[in-house]
Amino acid sequence: MSKLTDVPKRILIGRALRSDRLGETLLPKRIALPVFASDPLSSVAYAPGEVLLVLSIAGVSAYHFSPWIAVAVVVLMFTVVASYRQNVHAYPSGGGDYEVATTNLGPKAGLTVASALLVDYVLTVAVSISSGVENLGSAIPFVVENKVLCAIAIIVLLTLMNLRGVRESGKLFAIPTYVFVGAVFIMIVWGAVRGLAFGDTMRAPTAGFQIKPEEQGLAGFALVFLLLRAFSSGCAALTGVEAISNGVPAFRKPKSKNAATTLALMGGLAVTMFCGIIGLAMATDVKMAESPGTDLLRNGVPVGSDYVQNPVISQVAAAVFGNGTFFFVLLAAATALVLFLAANTAYNGFPLLGSILAQDRYLPRQLHTRGDRLAFSNGIVLLAGAAALLVGLYGADSTRLIQLYIVGVFVSFTLSQTGMVRHWNRHLKTERNAAKRRHMIRSRAINTFGAFFTGLVLIVVLATKFTHGAWVALLGMVIFYGTMTAIRKHYDRVSDEIAAAEGPSDDSVRPSRVHSIVLVSKVHKPTLRALAYAKLMRSDTLEALSISVDPAETKALKDEWERRGINVPLKILDSPYREITRPVIEYVRGLRTENPRDAISVYIPEYVVGRWYEHLLHNQSALRLKGRLLFTPGVMVTSVPYQLESSELAKQRAKKRRVYVAPGAVRRGPVDARPGDAGGGAGAGTKASGSGSASGSGTKR
């Protein structure tokens, strides 16, 4: 079966890469920018609209606050970028916020940051894909009618692209990201030229509409709260900034310098596009409403529920370029595509963070393993599954999903910058070089301001978005935190239990005697092979054990045993309720109770089949027995396989198909690296009972 599944796997994600080719997947800055910064760059497609949507609650009169909100977002962006430039130089290993918080504030703070980032990465995929589907749906009705299905299909496609490796996916993502950035800058420049140089009057499609305010004449605290809520919505432009600090190992050398440069480029491009679109939205008189069907008025009459409210960037493009023109279509297509690709920021950040957490034993060890294409495949698949679930639950509605957004980002921002302040304080105590001290003091000042500002924004976000859905993100963080804490406790407990003692212990003391038992259903080739193998082990005692569920079959077994003169005692256990597993378990436990210092070795004959449907036709009683015996102290379980002709035919078919299998394609971690895991695999000779191979049972049916 693994041969059959290998063919589509190679078609979808390509041939496996050797571990020593990991350096070939590292990214230059021109590729790293769209790979790690596509999320904040693409957020300009919806962040300005979120600001106007919130302000529309107070009517058009509140729109004049939007430039000031944009200025606040710009200051915050530059603060965060400057702060993270210190992070990537101080912690280039790729742990990012998690490593900074853990090292300087303790494991609990680090785990809080990790929980926040994991939640936010999942939301990044869900929000970006849903927003892209909505943008595309304004031109293609089928997408709107089936947006959940389309969103999940795009998540699957992105997953496959990332499973091929970050470099290949980065090349695919670079072109549309740069086209989008170029188209937005052309729109901003051309709009400024038309408005300032030519004096043209540019009108958005909604310029003639009026807005019916939900709250008339807001003032005082209510107005301040509204402005703070609009500001928190605009902060969506900052999502994904932390991904670069988490992805430093994916950069080419010098890693820290290239990551810091990419951060600066990302910040400059994002704030310029964000401010440009806000400015053009004001100049072209764009109107937005949270409930457009009832709150947008045309000649004093609501536009109705059939009205489709286009995003701000689409309305601005229609005013600047003209609806249906080449540049309008180009920008619309690039916007939809880059929103889909913006999820790639999370596809690079989530698996890297998951790998580090797995290495620290907070997540399953499988997340630390690189796949065939040297990407963290298990983390990629886990992210895709969580995002698809979220998209399904929220109906791919970006307006609902975005209310969950941002909380996790600012939790990690605040704790990370606080940790950096502690980092500089610790180093300043021992540093004596004057030049280095000046650099550290400057860095500490940047991180202090960053911690204060992001902490203030976190309070604002929690206060303004909690009842609108932020509580769901907080709940997700709590669940992640609790789960990771439980996983760490489990791994620690297992490590303590299996740690080898310095002196003699019960596990290293040789058993007094070994009792060997061969399970028998009837006398056939698998049974004879198991008996022959058990004799070679030179046990103190050896007996065959069978369960009597049918008197006629039991009598036939006894007669055949005597006829062949098999010199191994045959013990028959009656089972009036026709059970197989329980009598064997009780018998073995009874032997252990009588002789606690003795070891019991149980041999199970099995025959191996080669066709998938043959697995369904055979009772897996051996698997059930092994599963129960493994929980019995002092019992060793050995499977003795007997390969049938169909298994040999399966191997011959695979050879004829010449299926590509990379050298070392079967990867096994070191035994001591996976506490509780069962290693080994099917093959000739004996195999560990936990190997997971499917086979028929030679025991009683």
Q: What is the CATH number of domain 514-697?
A: 3.40.50
Question: CA-CA distance, 267 to 288, in Å (whole number)?
Answer: 26
Question: CA-CA distance, 701 to 698, in Å (whole number)?
Answer: 8
Question: CA-CA distance, 246 to 445, in Å (whole number)?
Answer: 22
Question: CA-CA distance, 18 to 451, in Å (whole number)?
Answer: 42
C-beta of residue 119 within 8 angstroms of C-beta of residue 471: no
Q: What pLDDT sits at residue 690?
A: 35
- How many Cβ atoms from other residues are within 10 Å of residue 377's Cβ? 21
Q: CA–CA distance from 435 to each of 340, 426, 431, 448 (Å)? A: 46, 17, 10, 20
Half-sphere exposure of 542 (CA within 13 A, CB side): 16
C-beta of residue 263 within 8 angstroms of C-beta of residue 241: yes
Q: Which residues pair with 547 in a beta bridge?
A: 573
Positions of the chain with pLDDT lower than 70, given as ranges: 1-26, 94-95, 137-141, 144, 165-173, 214-220, 246, 369-375, 399, 498-510, 610-620, 647-701
For 287, the 3-state DSSP assignment is: coil
Question: CA-CA distance, 472 to 659, in Å (whole number)?
Answer: 47
Q: Can you give the C-alpha Rg of the chain in angstroms?
A: 32
Q: Is 2-61+87-412+466-491 a domain of CATH 1.10.3470?
A: no
Q: What pLDDT sits at residue 213?
A: 78
C-alpha distance across the termini of the chain, in Å? 25
Query: Where in the chain is CATH 1.20.1740?
Result: 2-61+87-412+466-491
- Structure letter (DSSP) for residue 281: H
Q: CA–CA distance from 94 to each of 91, 224, 395, 444 (Å)? A: 7, 39, 34, 21
Handedness of CA 187, 189, 194, 195 (dihedral sign): positive
Query: Where in the chain is CATH 3.40.50?
Result: 514-697
Half-sphere exposure of 493 (CA within 13 A, CB side): 6
Q: What pLDDT sits at residue 375?
A: 61
Question: CA-CA distance, 605 to 531, in Å (whole number)?
Answer: 9
Question: CA-CA distance, 370 to 660, in Å (whole number)?
Answer: 19
**Cis amide prior to 596 (ω within 30 degrees):** no
**Residue with token string 């038309």:** 194
Question: How many helices (H) does the chain have, and how many strands (E)?
Answer: 27, 10
For 407, the 3-state DSSP assignment is: helix
Q: CA–CA distance from 697 to each of 247, 526, 615, 621, 624 (Å)? A: 49, 9, 10, 6, 10
**DSSP symbols for 214-234:** SSTT--THHHHHHHHHHHHHH
Residue 697: φ, ψ to 5°: -105, 140
Residue 237: φ, ψ to 5°: -65, -15
